């Protein structure tokens, strides 16, 4: 079955970047960056709910503050949260102190929307990691990378996104997509079409690995 119950995640993340699922085999992990973003995030939640799929949402702090009600819906639907920085800055050259301040501010914004929210992952904007995996691990978050990015930041059309997903997904891959940062309706449409196709071929959706 595509989709799974939300598990209790292990503690003690380590300063490496994970890019695979915890299940292995014919599993794939869907992750969505740069939200929350109405209306696309809300429609994506509807699609995931309809297909009984859980995903990881990598939240941009500025957007969290604008749309806390959507963060509450993400959590109510039992998806997994990921800290994606406060302002989506490139952190590659930042000091550990600067990174820590940003990650703490972002997590605080998320928990202002959802008190006590569990945030097990961090993803660096642009994949510019620098010292962020170590700082994130110290704050209890595993650095979350990806094995496949579908390139939806410049929407090429729903059919092309479907093709990229169908041809690019490999066993155990974490896939990077976007629900924010622009019009992501094509991404939502592609996800809606791809899930039943994957299910028919024996794939299931898994969360990313907790540790490297």
**Model confidence over 177-207: pLDDT tens digits?**
999 999 999 999 999 999 999 999 999 999 9
Q: Is the pLDDT of residue 4 over 80?
A: no
Domain ranges of the chain: 17-205
CATH (one of 3.20.20.370, 3.30.830.10, 3.40.718.10, 3.40.50.300) for 17-205: 3.20.20.370
What is the pLDDT confidence band of residue 130, given thresholds at 50, 70 and 90? very high
pTM of the model: 0.94
How far, in Å, CA of 123 to CA of 130, rounded? 12
DSSP string over 86-114: SS----TT--HHHHHHHHHHHHHHHHHHS
- Residues 124 and 62: beta-carbon distance below 8 Å: no
- Give the closest residue to 113 by CA, choosing from 160, 66, 172: 66
How far, in Å, CA of 212 to CA of 210, rounded? 7
Q: Is the pLDDT of residue 59 over 80?
A: yes
User: In this structure, what are the phi and psi dihedrals at residue 33, rounded to the nearest 5 degrees?
Assistant: -105, 160
What pLDDT does 120 receive? 97
Residues with a known catalytic role? 33, 178
């Amino acid at each position: 079955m595509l989709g799974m119950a939300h598990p209790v995640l292990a503690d003690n993340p380590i300063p490496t970047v994970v890019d695979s699922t915890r299940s292995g085999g014919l599993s794939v992990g869907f992750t969505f960056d740069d939200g929350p973003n109405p209306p696309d995030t809300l429609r994506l939640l509807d699609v995931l709910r309809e297909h009984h799929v859980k995903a990881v949402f990598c939240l941009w702090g500025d957007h969290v503050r604008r749309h806390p009600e959507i963060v509450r819906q993400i959590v109510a639907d039992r998806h997994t949260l990921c800290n994606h920085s406060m302002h989506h800055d490139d952190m590659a050259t930042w000091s550990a102190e600067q990174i820590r301040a940003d990650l703490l501010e972002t997590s605080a914004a998320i928990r202002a929307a959802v008190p006590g929210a569990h945030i097990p992952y961090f993803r660096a904007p642009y994949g510019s990691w620098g010292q962020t995996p170590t700082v994130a691990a110290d704050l209890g978050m595993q650095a979350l990378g990806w094995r496949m990015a579908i390139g939806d930041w410049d929407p090429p059309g729903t059919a092309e996104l479907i093709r990229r997903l169908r041809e690019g997904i490999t066993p155990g891959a974490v896939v990077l997509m976007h629900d924010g940062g622009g019009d992501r309706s094509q991404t939502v449409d592609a996800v809606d079409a791809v899930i039943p196709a994957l299910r028919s071929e024996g794939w299931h959706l898994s969360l990313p690995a907790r540790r490297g």
